[in-house]
C-alpha cells in the first residue's frame, strides 16, 4: 500500500501521517484526508483539462526553482503569476505577500473558502463585488451561496432554498436580513394567532353548542357513525360554520404560500442583501485600511444564531399563552 506520510493534503495543506484516514482519487491518484474530501465532494484537479496530481518526487517544474505560495504554501512552477490552488498573486511585492496573522478570522476563513470552492477570489459576483468579499460576508455555508450568486449574475438562474421554505422569516433573521425577516415573521405570527383565536373563541364554542343540542357530551372523542350523522344534520342549521372554517384555515394557507414563495425567492433576496452590505461597508470605510475593511466584512456578515432561540420562544408563547389565559 502506498504511503503518503509527509505529503501535504491538497485541501488543508497539512502533511499526512500514518494514522490519518486517507482517500485517493481513482483518476489521478491525489490523496486527501477523508474529512477534507467530504467537504468538497470531488477531486480538486480538472481531469478533463488534463490536470493531475503529482507526487513531490515526480513533479517537474519548468526550471530547477519553484515559487512557494505565501498564502497556502503550494509549490508552483517558476514563472507562474498566480497560485494554482488558492489564486494568490505570486508577483506582488513581499510586504503584500505576507501571510495574515492566524488570529485574523476573516483571513483564515477566506483562505479556506478559496482553496476548496474552485472560484478565484477576484471573480465578480456583482459589478463591483468579488467572490472574496462575498464569502467573508456570507461565511456560514458560503460554499453553497457563492456559486448560486455567481449563477444568478451570469445566467439569471437560482436554486430552491429549502431552509427558507421551512423557516421563512426565521431564515431571514438568521441571515441578518432583519427588516424583511421581521415583516415576514410578524405576518406569519399574526396568521397563526388569528387561526388560534378563531378556533378557541368562535369555532369551539359553536361546536359545543351543536354537540349539546344533539345530546352528545362535548368531551366525547370517538363518535359513533350515528352521532356523526346527527351532528352533520344539526350543522345544516349553522351556515356560519363555512365562514368560520375559512377564517380558521385561510391564515394557515397564507403562511404556506409565504413559505413557498420564500423557497423560490430566498437566494435572490439574499444575493441583493449581501451585495448591498458589501457596498455599504466599503463606503463607510472609504479611505480606511484594507485590514479594517476585511475585519468589518467578517464582523457584520455571517449569521445570528441567537435568533433561533428567540423564534423558538416566540412560537411557544403564541401557542401556549392563549391556552393559559383563556
109 found inside a domain: no
| pLDDT confidence of residue 323 | 58
Q: Is the dihedral angle over the CA atoms 37, 42, 45, 50 positive or is it negative?
A: positive
Q: Quick one: 220 and 177 in the same domain?
A: yes
Return the number of other C-beta atoms located less than 10 Å from residue 76's C-beta.
Answer: 18
- Residues 82, 217 within the same domain: no
pLDDT value for 59 = 41
User: Which pLDDT does position 104 carry in this prediction?
Assistant: 53
Which is nearest to 194 in space by CA: 260, 258, 246, 261?
A: 246
Q: Identify the domain boundary among 99, 120, 146.
A: 99
The residue segments making up the domain with residue 35 are 1-60
Residue 155 maps to a domain: no
Query: How far apart are the C-alpha atoms of 299 and 268, rounded to whole Å?
Result: 22
| In a shared domain, residues 89 and 193 | no
Instruction: Give the DSSP per-residue string, 247-295.
Output: HHHHHHHHHHHHHHHHHHHHHHHHHHHHHHHHHHHHHHTTTS-HHHHHH
Q: What does the alpha-carbon distance between residue 149 and residue 288 come to, in Å, rounded to a whole number?
A: 27
Radius of gyration over alpha carbons of the chain, in Å?
Answer: 29
Per-residue pLDDT of the chain (326 residues; tens, 9 = 90+): 567 777 888 887 788 887 888 888 888 888 888 888 887 888 888 877 777 787 765 444 444 467 777 766 677 776 666 666 666 666 655 444 444 444 455 555 555 555 545 678 888 889 899 988 998 899 888 889 999 999 999 999 999 999 999 989 889 999 999 999 999 988 988 898 888 888 888 888 898 999 999 988 888 878 889 988 998 998 888 888 888 888 888 999 999 999 999 999 999 999 999 999 999 999 988 888 888 888 888 889 989 888 878 877 776 776 666 556 55
Q: Where among 12, 35, 60 does a domain terminate?
A: 60
Residue 187 sits in the same domain as residue 74: no
The predicted structure's pLDDT at residue 160: 96
Q: Are residues 178 and 308 in the same domain?
A: yes
Three-state DSSP class for 103? coil
Q: Which helix (H) or strand (E) holds 77?
A: strand 75-77
Q: Is residue 289 part of a domain?
A: yes
**Residues 177 and 75 occupy one common structural domain:** no
On the CB side of 319, CA atoms within 13 Å amount to 6
Q: Report the largest interatomic distance among the alpha carbons of the chain, rounded to a whole angstrom.
A: 99
Residue 129 lies in a domain: no
What is the C-alpha separation between 250 and 244, in angstroms, rounded?
10
Q: What does the pLDDT read at residue 40? A: 80
Residue 139 maps to a domain? no
pLDDT of residue 58: 44
Same domain membership, residue 174 and residue 80: no
Long-range contacts of 145-151 (CB under 8 A, 24+ apart): 145/267, 145/270, 145/274, 146/113, 146/117, 146/119, 147/117, 147/119, 148/267, 148/271, 149/125, 149/267, 149/271, 149/274, 150/119, 150/123, 150/125
**Does 308 lie in the same domain as 272?**
yes
Number of structural domains the chain divides into: 3
Phi, psi values for residue 88, rounded to 5°: -65, 140
pLDDT at position 183 is 94
Kindly state whether residues 36 and 66 are assigned to the same domain.
no
Query: Residues 70, 196: one domain?
Result: no
Same domain flag for 19 and 90? no
Distances (CA, A) of 133 to 188, 196, 269, 270: 33, 45, 18, 15
Is residue 146, in this structure, part of any structural domain at all?
Answer: no
Answer yes or no: are the C-beta atoms of 78 and 65 closer than 8 Å.
yes
> What is d(CA 107, CA 112) in angstroms, rounded to the nearest whole number?
9
In a domain, 209, yes or no: yes
Nine cell digits for residue 237:
342549521
Helix or strand holding residue 37 (H, E):
helix 34-40
Q: Do 51 and 198 share a domain, yes or no? A: no
CATH number assigned to the domain comprising residue 11: 3.30.40
CA distance 230 to 239: 16
Please check whether residue 68 lies inside any domain of the structure: yes
Amino acid at each position: 500500500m502506498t504511503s503518503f506520510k509527509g505529503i501535504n493534503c491538497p485541501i488543508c495543506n497539512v502533511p499526512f501521517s500514518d494514522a490519518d484516514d486517507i482517500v485517493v482519487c481513482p483518476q489521478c491518484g491525489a490523496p486527501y484526508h477523508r474529512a477534507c474530501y467530504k467537504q468538497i465532494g470531488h477531486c480538486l484537479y480538472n481531469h478533463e483539462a488534463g490536470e493531475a496530481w503529482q507526487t513531490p518526487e515526480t513533479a517537474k517544474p519548468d526550471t530547477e526553482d519553484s515559487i512557494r505560495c505565501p498564502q497556502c504554501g503550494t509549490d508552483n512552477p517558476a514563472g507562474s503569476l498566480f497560485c494554482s490552488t488558492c489564486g494568490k498573486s505570486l508577483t506582488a511585492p513581499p510586504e503584500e505577500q505576507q501571510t495574515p496573522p492566524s488570529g485574523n478570522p476573516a483571513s483564515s476563513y477566506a483562505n479556506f473558502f478559496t482553496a476548496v470552492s474552485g472560484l478565484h477570489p477576484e471573480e465578480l459576483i456583482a459589478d463591483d463585488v468579488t467572490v472574496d468579499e462575498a464569502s467573508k460576508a456570507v461565511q456560514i455555508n458560503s460554499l453553497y451561496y457563492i456559486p448560486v450568486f455567481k449563477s444568478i449574475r451570469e445566467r439569471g438562474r437560482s436554486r430552491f432554498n429549502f431552509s427558507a421554505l421551512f423557516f421563512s422569516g426565521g431564515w431571514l433573521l438568521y441571515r441578518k436580513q432583519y427588516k424583511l425577516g421581521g415583516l415576514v415573521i410578524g405576518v406569519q405570527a399574526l396568521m397563526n394567532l388569528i387561526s388560534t383565536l378563531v378556533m378557541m373563541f368562535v369555532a369551539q364554542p359553536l361546536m359545543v353548542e351543536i354537540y349539546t343540542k344533539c345530546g352528545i357530551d362535548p368531551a366525547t372523542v370517538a363518535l359513533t357513525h350515528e352521532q356523526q350523522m346527527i351532528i352533520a344534520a344539526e350543522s345544516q342549521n349553522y351556515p356560519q360554520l363555512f365562514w368560520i372554517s375559512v377564517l380558521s384555515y385561510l391564515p394557515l394557507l397564507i403562511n404556506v404560500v409565504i413559505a413557498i414563495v420564500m423557497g423560490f425567492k430566498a437566494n435572490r433576496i439574499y444575493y441583493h442583501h449581501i451585495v448591498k452590505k458589501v457596498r455599504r461597508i466599503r463606503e463607510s470605510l472609504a479611505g480606511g485600511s484594507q485590514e479594517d475593511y476585511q475585519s468589518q466584512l467578517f464582523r457584520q456578515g455571517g449569521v445570528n444564531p441567537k435568533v433561533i432561540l428567540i423564534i423558538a420562544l416566540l412560537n411557544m408563547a403564541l401557542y401556549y399563552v392563549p391556552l393559559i389565559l383563556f
